[in-house]
Protein backbone atom coordinates (compact mmCIF):
# COMPACT_ATOMS: atom_id res chain seq x y z
CA UNK A 1 0.00 0.00 0.00
CA UNK A 2 1.16 3.51 -0.83
CA UNK A 3 0.38 6.42 1.42
CA UNK A 4 0.17 10.16 0.89
CA UNK A 5 0.41 13.02 3.36
CA UNK A 6 -2.35 15.60 3.06
CA UNK A 7 -1.04 19.15 3.44
CA UNK A 8 -2.27 22.67 2.88
CA UNK A 9 -0.97 22.42 -0.68
CA UNK A 10 -2.95 19.35 -1.74
CA UNK A 11 -5.90 19.51 0.69
CA UNK A 12 -8.37 20.82 -1.89
CA UNK A 13 -7.70 17.99 -4.34
CA UNK A 14 -7.29 15.05 -1.97
CA UNK A 15 -10.01 12.78 -0.67
CA UNK A 16 -9.84 12.81 3.14
CA UNK A 17 -10.91 9.20 3.63
CA UNK A 18 -13.97 9.62 5.79
CA UNK A 19 -17.33 8.14 4.91
CA UNK A 20 -18.25 10.85 2.40
CA UNK A 21 -16.83 10.72 -1.10
CA UNK A 22 -18.19 14.03 -2.47
CA UNK A 23 -15.72 16.86 -1.86
CA UNK A 24 -18.55 19.39 -2.19
CA UNK A 25 -20.48 17.85 0.70
CA UNK A 26 -20.81 20.23 3.66
CA UNK A 27 -19.28 17.57 5.91
CA UNK A 28 -16.13 17.33 3.81
CA UNK A 29 -15.89 21.13 3.49
CA UNK A 30 -16.21 21.50 7.26
CA UNK A 31 -13.53 18.91 7.99
CA UNK A 32 -11.14 20.32 5.42
CA UNK A 33 -11.56 23.83 6.82
CA UNK A 34 -10.73 22.48 10.29
CA UNK A 35 -7.68 20.63 8.97
CA UNK A 36 -6.42 23.68 7.07
CA UNK A 37 -6.21 25.65 10.30
CA UNK A 38 -4.38 22.85 12.14
CA UNK A 39 -1.46 22.21 9.77
CA UNK A 40 0.51 25.13 11.23
CA UNK A 41 0.05 23.50 14.65
CA UNK A 42 1.89 20.41 13.42
CA UNK A 43 -1.07 18.23 12.46
CA UNK A 44 -0.26 15.29 10.18
CA UNK A 45 -2.88 13.53 8.05
CA UNK A 46 -1.50 10.41 6.39
CA UNK A 47 -3.78 8.32 4.21
CA UNK A 48 -3.93 5.55 1.68
CA UNK A 49 -3.60 6.63 -1.94
CA UNK A 50 -6.73 4.56 -2.51
CA UNK A 51 -10.12 6.02 -1.70
CA UNK A 52 -11.51 4.63 1.52
CA UNK A 53 -11.26 4.65 5.29
CA UNK A 54 -7.54 4.14 5.80
CA UNK A 55 -5.75 7.01 7.54
CA UNK A 56 -4.11 8.36 10.67
CA UNK A 57 -4.39 11.90 11.99
CA UNK A 58 -2.08 13.14 14.76
CA UNK A 59 -0.80 16.37 16.28
CA UNK A 60 1.63 17.51 19.00
CA UNK A 61 -0.27 16.98 22.25
CA UNK A 62 0.22 20.60 23.29
CA UNK A 63 -1.97 21.54 20.32
CA UNK A 64 -4.53 18.75 20.66
CA UNK A 65 -8.18 19.74 20.92
CA UNK A 66 -8.61 17.66 24.06
CA UNK A 67 -8.25 18.43 27.79
CA UNK A 68 -5.02 16.52 28.35
CA UNK A 69 -1.63 17.40 29.81
CA UNK A 70 0.85 15.44 27.71
CA UNK A 71 3.73 17.78 27.03
CA UNK A 72 6.24 16.31 24.59
CA UNK A 73 3.87 13.62 23.32
CA UNK A 74 2.18 13.21 19.96
CA UNK A 75 -1.59 12.84 20.25
CA UNK A 76 -3.42 10.61 17.77
CA UNK A 77 -6.76 12.17 16.85
CA UNK A 78 -7.86 9.20 14.80
CA UNK A 79 -6.51 5.91 13.43
CA UNK A 80 -9.20 4.52 11.16
CA UNK A 81 -8.88 1.47 8.95
CA UNK A 82 -12.14 -0.23 7.99
CA UNK A 83 -14.08 -1.89 5.19
CA UNK A 84 -12.00 -3.66 2.56
CA UNK A 85 -8.80 -2.22 4.07
CA UNK A 86 -9.07 -4.23 7.29
CA UNK A 87 -6.91 -7.29 7.81
CA UNK A 88 -3.98 -6.25 5.62
CA UNK A 89 -1.69 -4.69 8.22
CA UNK A 90 -2.42 -1.10 7.19
CA UNK A 91 -3.09 -0.01 10.79
CA UNK A 92 0.39 -1.24 11.63
CA UNK A 93 1.83 0.70 8.68
CA UNK A 94 0.15 3.93 9.70
CA UNK A 95 1.05 3.59 13.36
CA UNK A 96 4.65 2.76 12.48
CA UNK A 97 4.85 5.88 10.31
CA UNK A 98 3.47 7.97 13.18
CA UNK A 99 6.00 6.48 15.61
CA UNK A 100 8.91 7.11 13.21
CA UNK A 101 7.82 10.69 12.51
CA UNK A 102 7.26 11.39 16.21
CA UNK A 103 10.69 10.08 17.15
CA UNK A 104 12.32 12.19 14.45
CA UNK A 105 10.53 15.24 15.85
CA UNK A 106 11.84 14.54 19.34
CA UNK A 107 8.52 13.53 20.87
CA UNK A 108 8.48 11.53 24.12
CA UNK A 109 5.80 9.11 22.95
CA UNK A 110 2.25 8.75 21.67
CA UNK A 111 -1.10 9.08 23.40
CA UNK A 112 -4.65 8.35 22.29
CA UNK A 113 -8.18 7.98 23.70
CA UNK A 114 -9.86 4.61 24.14
CA UNK A 115 -12.05 2.79 26.66
CA UNK A 116 -12.16 -0.56 28.42
CA UNK A 117 -15.56 -1.24 26.84
CA UNK A 118 -15.47 -0.55 23.10
CA UNK A 119 -17.12 2.72 22.11
CA UNK A 120 -17.76 4.16 18.63
CA UNK A 121 -15.08 6.33 17.04
CA UNK A 122 -12.46 5.36 19.64
CA UNK A 123 -9.36 3.24 19.17
CA UNK A 124 -9.68 -0.47 19.96
CA UNK A 125 -8.09 -1.02 23.38
CA UNK A 126 -7.09 -4.58 22.50
CA UNK A 127 -5.15 -3.33 19.49
CA UNK A 128 -3.50 -0.62 21.56
CA UNK A 129 -2.45 -3.14 24.19
CA UNK A 130 -1.06 -5.42 21.48
CA UNK A 131 1.05 -2.52 20.17
CA UNK A 132 2.46 -1.76 23.62
CA UNK A 133 0.22 1.10 24.76
CA UNK A 134 -0.88 1.27 28.41
CA UNK A 135 -3.64 3.12 30.25
CA UNK A 136 -2.26 6.19 31.97
CA UNK A 137 -5.49 7.89 33.09
CA UNK A 138 -9.24 7.32 33.16
CA UNK A 139 -12.21 9.66 33.53
CA UNK A 140 -15.34 8.83 35.52
CA UNK A 141 -17.27 8.00 32.33
CA UNK A 142 -14.87 5.21 31.37
CA UNK A 143 -12.93 7.15 28.73
CA UNK A 144 -9.26 6.23 29.02
CA UNK A 145 -6.05 7.94 28.02
CA UNK A 146 -3.47 5.44 26.70
CA UNK A 147 0.18 6.15 26.07
CA UNK A 148 3.21 4.61 24.39
CA UNK A 149 6.34 6.24 25.88
CA UNK A 150 9.56 6.09 23.91
CA UNK A 151 11.74 5.95 27.05
CA UNK A 152 11.39 4.87 30.66
CA UNK A 153 11.81 8.42 31.96
CA UNK A 154 9.11 9.97 29.76
CA UNK A 155 6.45 11.90 31.65
CA UNK A 156 3.02 10.31 32.04
CA UNK A 157 0.09 12.05 30.27
CA UNK A 158 -2.98 12.95 32.31
CA UNK A 159 -6.47 14.31 31.79
CA UNK A 160 -6.96 17.88 32.92
CA UNK A 161 -9.16 18.32 36.00
CA UNK A 162 -12.03 19.77 33.96
CA UNK A 163 -12.45 16.44 32.11
CA UNK A 164 -11.78 13.99 34.91
CA UNK A 165 -15.41 14.07 36.15
CA UNK A 166 -17.51 14.75 33.04
CA UNK A 167 -20.61 16.71 34.01
CA UNK A 168 -22.37 19.91 32.91
CA UNK A 169 -24.89 22.27 34.47
CA UNK A 170 -28.50 22.53 33.39
CA UNK A 171 -31.35 20.23 32.45
CA UNK A 172 -32.11 18.61 29.12
CA UNK A 173 -29.58 17.64 26.47
CA UNK A 174 -26.28 19.47 26.07
CA UNK A 175 -23.92 18.59 23.24
CA UNK A 176 -20.27 19.59 23.06
CA UNK A 177 -18.71 19.11 19.63
CA UNK A 178 -16.09 20.33 17.17
CA UNK A 179 -15.70 20.42 13.42
CA UNK A 180 -12.94 17.84 13.66
CA UNK A 181 -15.54 15.18 12.89
CA UNK A 182 -17.10 15.79 9.46
CA UNK A 183 -20.43 14.20 10.38
CA UNK A 184 -21.23 17.05 12.78
CA UNK A 185 -21.67 19.64 10.04
CA UNK A 186 -24.69 17.73 8.74
CA UNK A 187 -26.15 15.95 11.72
CA UNK A 188 -25.86 18.47 14.57
CA UNK A 189 -28.32 20.87 12.80
CA UNK A 190 -30.60 17.90 12.07
CA UNK A 191 -30.68 16.92 15.76
CA UNK A 192 -31.20 20.55 16.79
CA UNK A 193 -34.22 20.81 14.52
CA UNK A 194 -35.55 17.42 15.65
CA UNK A 195 -35.32 18.51 19.28
CA UNK A 196 -37.14 21.80 18.55
CA UNK A 197 -39.89 20.04 16.60
CA UNK A 198 -40.48 17.61 19.46
CA UNK A 199 -40.18 20.04 22.34
CA UNK A 200 -37.02 18.44 23.70
CA UNK A 201 -34.62 20.77 25.57
CA UNK A 202 -31.38 20.71 23.59
CA UNK A 203 -28.31 22.94 23.45
CA UNK A 204 -25.38 22.45 21.08
CA UNK A 205 -22.06 24.04 22.03
CA UNK A 206 -19.44 24.08 19.29
CA UNK A 207 -15.89 24.29 20.58
CA UNK A 208 -14.22 26.77 18.24
CA UNK A 209 -10.66 26.98 19.53
CA UNK A 210 -7.94 24.84 21.04
CA UNK A 211 -8.31 26.75 24.30
CA UNK A 212 -12.04 26.00 24.51
CA UNK A 213 -11.45 22.33 23.73
CA UNK A 214 -8.65 22.00 26.28
CA UNK A 215 -11.00 23.30 28.98
CA UNK A 216 -14.04 21.25 28.00
CA UNK A 217 -15.90 19.16 30.61
CA UNK A 218 -15.32 15.98 28.62
CA UNK A 219 -12.26 13.98 27.49
CA UNK A 220 -13.90 13.50 24.06
CA UNK A 221 -14.47 16.84 22.40
CA UNK A 222 -15.46 15.72 18.90
CA UNK A 223 -18.91 14.72 20.19
CA UNK A 224 -20.03 14.47 23.82
CA UNK A 225 -23.72 14.37 24.67
CA UNK A 226 -25.02 15.02 28.20
CA UNK A 227 -28.50 14.69 29.70
CA UNK A 228 -29.51 16.51 32.89
CA UNK A 229 -25.85 17.08 33.59
CA UNK A 230 -24.73 13.46 33.17
CA UNK A 231 -22.55 12.21 30.32
CA UNK A 232 -24.41 9.92 27.91
CA UNK A 233 -22.46 9.07 24.77
CA UNK A 234 -19.92 10.03 22.12
CA UNK A 235 -21.96 8.35 19.39
CA UNK A 236 -23.10 10.79 16.70
CA UNK A 237 -26.87 11.13 16.51
CA UNK A 238 -29.18 11.45 13.53
CA UNK A 239 -32.85 12.30 13.96
CA UNK A 240 -34.09 8.73 14.42
CA UNK A 241 -31.31 7.73 16.77
CA UNK A 242 -31.79 10.85 18.88
CA UNK A 243 -35.55 10.33 19.22
CA UNK A 244 -34.95 6.72 20.21
CA UNK A 245 -32.41 7.85 22.82
CA UNK A 246 -34.78 10.54 24.13
CA UNK A 247 -37.61 8.01 24.41
CA UNK A 248 -35.35 5.63 26.32
CA UNK A 249 -34.29 8.41 28.71
CA UNK A 250 -37.91 9.34 29.38
CA UNK A 251 -38.72 5.73 30.19
CA UNK A 252 -35.73 5.51 32.52
CA UNK A 253 -36.62 8.73 34.32
CA UNK A 254 -40.33 7.88 34.76
Domain architecture of the chain: domains with CATH: 3-162 (3.40.630.30), 164-253 (3.40.30.120)
Please give the pLDDT value at position 125: 96
Nearest by Cα to 141 from 60, 59, 231: 231
Instruction: Give me the residues of the chain with pLDDT under 50, please.
Output: none
Coil, strand or helix at 248: helix
CB 205 within 8 A of CB 175: yes
User: For residue 145, what are the β-bridge partners?
Assistant: 113, 137
Residue 17's pLDDT is 67
pTM listed for this prediction: 0.94
Q: Are residues 5 and 94 in contact, defined by beta-carbon separation less than 8 angstroms?
A: no
CA dihedral 36, 110, 125, 182 (to 10 degrees): 0
> Comparing C-alpha atoms, which of 105, 83, 84, 101 is closest to residue 93?
101
Q: What is the pLDDT of residue 85?
A: 86
Alpha-carbon distances, residue 56 vs 32, 43, 169, 173 (angstroms): 15, 10, 35, 31
pLDDT at 242: 97
Which pLDDT score is estimated for 113? 98
Q: Is 45 helix (H, G, I), strand (E, B) or coil?
A: strand
Amino acid sequence: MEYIRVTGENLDSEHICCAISNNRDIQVASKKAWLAERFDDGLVFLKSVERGKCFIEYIPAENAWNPIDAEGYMYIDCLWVSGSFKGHGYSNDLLAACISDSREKGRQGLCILSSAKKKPFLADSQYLQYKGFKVCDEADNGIQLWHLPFSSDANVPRFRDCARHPRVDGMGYVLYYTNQCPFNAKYVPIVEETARANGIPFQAIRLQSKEEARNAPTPITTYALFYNGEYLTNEQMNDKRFLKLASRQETTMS
